[in-house]
Amino acid sequence: MRDLDGRTYAASTVGLESLHVAALDLAVAMAVSSGAKGLEGAAVVTESVSVDVAAVRDLGGSGVTVFVADPSGAVGSVRES
């Protein structure tokens, strides 16, 4: 994910017994904690067919592009928040 200041955030899904955070949500949390005021775009690599972009929308507003790729790197879809 990239914020409006050009900073980049990378995260991985956390799946512990007592804590589960999706990678995209964690990247948004890192951006917020760093003082980001908005987002330029994001990319997610996942085996899942659905990606929740609500946190991206919360920080970046509507229209932030989210590229969704499979583990091989092939972009399967492009979503907007």
Our count of domains for the chain comes to: 1
Q: What is the pLDDT of residues 12-70, one digit of tens each?
A: 999 999 999 999 999 999 999 999 999 999 999 999 888 999 999 999 999 999 999 99
Residue identified by tokens 């955030």 is 9
pTM of the model: 0.92
How far does CA 79 lie from the centroid of its chain? Answer: 11
| Domain assignment of residue 33, given as a range | 2-80
What are the tokens at 48? 């899942």
**Residue 6, pLDDT score:** 97
The CATH number given to whatever domain includes residue 20 is 3.40.140.10
Contact 70, 77 (CB under 8 A): no
28: exposed, middle or buried (Cβ count in 10 Å: 0-12, 13-18, 19+): buried
**Residue 81, pLDDT score:** 85
